[in-house]
């Protein structure tokens, strides 16, 4: 009986893996989850993206498949930093297979070699968006071609979206772009905003790359 149960579990897992959509370049991507994030992102009312920043940020967390956990311990599900500083602005959807990668070989510059995010990903991720998990990963390294950031190197995953504050209106608006730099949404939230120095640095990280193109345009268009 036990052997039969194990066999059934193995078959079930095999079928689930066979049904996965696999990105050939970034196989750590939770593709179905990424697609669900894009659907949720498109459904956010513009009034929320243009409303008070704390509410807009929570809408981005929900769309990205993350719980709002401002009181959790860092590393154990805390999401209060997500989109609130210059760096944690990549919404990444990764398969469970790669969630415990930690940059142990130092492949991602300026990131700890013990960057273990798996426990926090599992605690904060909303299950209804599908297989895998979500996290707001660091953007530094994204301006190279190909990107050398946490999403693409540590997790071998595409990003679902990146938040970039735009210099066109003195960093008071943001754009959300996909892995190719294509514009998905934009917003002009109301205070309290992240510190202006953080918003400026956020843009400088992507400046000159495909991720800056939408931010360099007119936010009113």
Question: Domain-by-domain residue ranges, the chain?
Answer: 20-162
The pLDDT assigned to 24 comes to: 97
The residue with tokens 């960057």 is: 115
Ordered per-residue pLDDT tens for the chain, 221 residues? 444 455 544 544 544 555 789 999 999 999 999 999 999 999 999 999 999 999 999 999 999 999 999 999 999 999 999 999 999 999 999 999 999 999 999 899 889 988 999 999 999 999 999 999 999 999 999 999 999 999 999 999 999 999 999 999 999 999 999 999 999 999 999 999 999 999 999 999 999 999 999 999 866 66
pLDDT of 220: 62
The whole-angstrom separation of Cα 221 and Cα 215 is 11
Q: How far apart are CA 165 and CA 110, in angstroms?
A: 22
**pLDDT tens across 23-75, in order?**
999 999 999 999 999 999 999 999 999 999 999 999 999 999 999 999 999 99
- The rounded distance, in Å, linking the Cα atoms of 64 and 82 is 11
Torsion of CA 117, 122, 127, 133, to 10 degrees: 20
Q: Residue 162: its pLDDT value, please?
A: 98
What CA–CA distance (Å, rounded) separates 202 from 208? 13
Give the pLDDT score at 216: 96
pLDDT for residue 21: 93
Write down the pLDDT at residue 17. Answer: 53
User: pTM for this one?
Assistant: 0.90
Predicted pLDDT at 208: 97
């Amino acid at each position: 009986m036990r052997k039969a149960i194990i066999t059934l579990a193995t078959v079930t897992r095999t079928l689930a893996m066979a049904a996965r959509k696999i990105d050939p370049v970034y196989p750590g991507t939770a593709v179905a989850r990424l697609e669900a994030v894009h659907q949720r992102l498109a459904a956010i009312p513009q009034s929320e993206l243009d409303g008070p920043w704390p509410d807009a940020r929570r809408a981005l967390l929900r769309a990205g498949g993350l719980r709002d956990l401002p009181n959790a311990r860092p590393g154990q599900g805390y999401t209060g930093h997500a989109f609130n500083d210059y760096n944690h602005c990549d919404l990444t959807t990764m398969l469970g297979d790669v969630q415990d990668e930690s940059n142990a070989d130092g492949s991602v510059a300026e990131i700890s070699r013990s960057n273990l995010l798996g426990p926090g990903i599992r605690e904060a991720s909303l299950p209804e968006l599908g297989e895998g998990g979500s996290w707001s990963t660091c953007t530094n390294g994204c301006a190279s071609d190909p990107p050398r950031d946490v999403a693409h190197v540590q997790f071998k995953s595409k990003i679902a979206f990146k938040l970039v504050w735009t210099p066109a209106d003195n960093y008071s608006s943001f754009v959300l772009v996909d892995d190719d730099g294509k514009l998905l949404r934009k917003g002009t939230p109301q205070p309290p905003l992240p510190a202006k120095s953080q918003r400026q640095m956020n843009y400088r990280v992507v400046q000159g790359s495909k991720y800056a193109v939408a931010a360099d345009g007119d936010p009113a268009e």
